[in-house]
């Protein structure tokens, strides 16, 4: 879902962090996966992938000149607002509207995005990047399908966490995403361990542990789901680096390829997890809520397309940190989430580790 991602973009916060080539780009602390179906995790992760593979200004002068460029002072607040709104909206649907069916909602988001990207492909230049990718059947089976399966797992698990955990606590746990990605990168020898990196890993881990220990309404199953979602998302990003290295995919182009795959996978899984209950409970939300919810999630990905060209990785990192702080504050106001001083202290340590990682170039 865009839940809880597509900060999503990213989204999760997910803040945007990238390991230097040839290492794997890391997600910020979501989307919950993506704007596509569970937050901004998807979007923020793909921001880094797009930034890494983007063409130089000279290379873009011909094809991209006709595209709209939105100033950073405008697009960054828009992206932050979309990311925060998607996660809070999803939580509102789950909790306030009593619609506890994250697989159904994620599937609806992905189906909406699959259709929307194809409409944009025919009517705008936003999906022109897909023309530069030679997507053969063999490549699709070898790359898009396994990565899409990992993405589906990440979205489903992260959104199930929102049924029992607070938005603020989940955002704090998402700060562990870069650590998981680093550990998997070490295992695949995509990144060489160093004293500085290990210190940053310990710093973020200690911060997340303190945030978890300070949670007043700790729920084991939700915690396990979120931790598993982090592993799925980290594995997905590492697989992107291994299988799609050198391919230029911005968030919309990525969604163009992954959304249909993930929608089908989720639709196959849904009867075994949620049965037909979501269809019987549709009257609780209504078609207007579903469409606006999915539309907002998709808007997050559109905003990400314009965001990747306006600032450096550090600017996006700081914007992501501010977005996470605003999101946690918003969850306290909107849903009455309780935050302890120990959680604030622990999360501050994690954020300091994230910013240190980015400013030192991940070395």
What whole-number distance in Å separates Cα of residue 234 and Cα of residue 10? 12
> Does residue 7 lie within any of the structural domains?
no
Cβ–Cβ < 8 Å for 356, 200: yes
What whole-number distance in Å separates Cα of residue 220 and Cα of residue 241? 32
> Does residue 60 lie within any of the structural domains?
no
Residue with tokens 């530069």: 132
For residue 3, the model assigns a pLDDT of 42
Tokens describing residue 240? 């992107």
Q: What is the pTM of this model?
A: 0.77
> Does residue 59 lie within any of the structural domains?
no
- What is the distance between the terminal CA atoms of the chain, rounded to a whole angstrom? 32
Name the helix (H) or strand (E) containing 85.
helix 72-91
Categorise residue 246: left if φ over 0, alpha if ψ from -120 to 50, beta otherwise.
Answer: left
Tokens describing residue 203? 């710093």
What whole-number distance in Å separates Cα of residue 157 and Cα of residue 88? 17
Which parts of the chain register pLDDT below 50? 1-66
For residue 152, the model assigns a pLDDT of 92
For residue 266, the model assigns a pLDDT of 95
How many domains is the chain built from? 1
Tokens describing residue 124? 């705008």
> Does residue 297 lie within any of the structural domains?
yes
For residue 313, the model assigns a pLDDT of 65
How far, in Å, are 12, 45, 357 from residue 204 at the CA level? 16, 18, 10
For residue 196, the model assigns a pLDDT of 83
> Does residue 11 lie within any of the structural domains?
no
> Does residue 180 lie within any of the structural domains?
yes
- The dihedral built from the CA positions of residue 290, 293, 296 and 297, taken in this order, carries a sign that is negative
> Does residue 36 lie within any of the structural domains?
yes
> Does residue 12 lie within any of the structural domains?
no
For residue 320, the model assigns a pLDDT of 80
Quick: pLDDT tens for 217-253.
788 898 999 999 999 988 988 888 888 776 777 788 8
2 Cβ contact partners less than 8 Å away, ≥ 6 residues apart: 8, 11, 31, 33, 34, 35, 36, 37, 38, 39, 40, 42, 43, 86, 87, 90, 109, 294, 296, 297, 298, 300
Categorise residue 220: left if φ over 0, alpha if ψ from -120 to 50, beta otherwise.
Answer: alpha
Can you give the residue range of the structural domain that contains 341? 17-54+65-359
For residue 169, the model assigns a pLDDT of 86
For residue 194, the model assigns a pLDDT of 82
Indicate the length of the chain as a whole number: 363
């Amino acid at each position: 879902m865009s839940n809880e991602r597509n900060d999503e973009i990213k989204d999760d916060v997910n803040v945007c962090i990238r390991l230097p080539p040839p290492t794997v780009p890391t997600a910020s602390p979501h989307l919950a996966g993506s704007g596509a179906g569970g937050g901004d995790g998807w979007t923020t992760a793909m921001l880094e992938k797009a930034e890494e593979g983007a063409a130089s200004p000279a290379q873009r002068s011909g094809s991209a000149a006709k595209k709209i460029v939105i100033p950073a002072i405008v697009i960054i607040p828009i992206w932050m607002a979309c990311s925060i709104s998607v996660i809070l909206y999803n939580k509102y649907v789950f909790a306030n509207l009593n619609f506890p069916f994250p697989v159904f909602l994620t599937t609806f988001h992905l189906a909406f995005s699959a259709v929307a990207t194809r409409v944009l492909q025919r009517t705008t230049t936003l999906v022109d990047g897909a023309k530069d990718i030679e997507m053969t059947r063999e490549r699709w089976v070898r790359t898009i399908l396994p990565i899409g399966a990992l993405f589906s797992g990440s979205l489903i698990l992260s959104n199930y966490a929102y049924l029992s955990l607070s938005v603020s606590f989940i955002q704090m746990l998402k700060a562990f995403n870069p650590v998981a990605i680093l550990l998997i990168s070490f295992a695949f020898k995509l990144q060489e361990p160093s004293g500085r990196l290990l210190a940053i890993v310990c710093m973020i881990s200690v911060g997340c542990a303190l945030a978890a220990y300070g949670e007043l309404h700790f729920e084991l199953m939700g915690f396990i789901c979120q931790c598993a979602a982090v592993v799925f998302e980290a594995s997905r990003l590492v697989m992107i680096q291994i299988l799609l290295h050198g391919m230029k995919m911005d968030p919309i182009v990525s969604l163009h390829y992954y959304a249909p795959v993930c929608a089908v996978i989720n639709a196959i899984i849904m009867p075994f997890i949620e049965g037909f209950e979501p269809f019987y409970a549709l009257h609780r939300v209504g078609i207007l809520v579903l469409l606006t919810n999915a539309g907002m999630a998709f808007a997050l990905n559109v905003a990400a397309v314009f965001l990747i060209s306006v600032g450096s990785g550090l600017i996006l990192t700081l914007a992501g940190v501010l977005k996470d702080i605003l999101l946690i504050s918003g969850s306290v106001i909107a849903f009455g989430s309780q935050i302890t001083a120990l959680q604030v202290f622990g999360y501050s340590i994690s954020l300091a580790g994230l910013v240190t990682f980015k400013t030192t170039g991940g070395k």
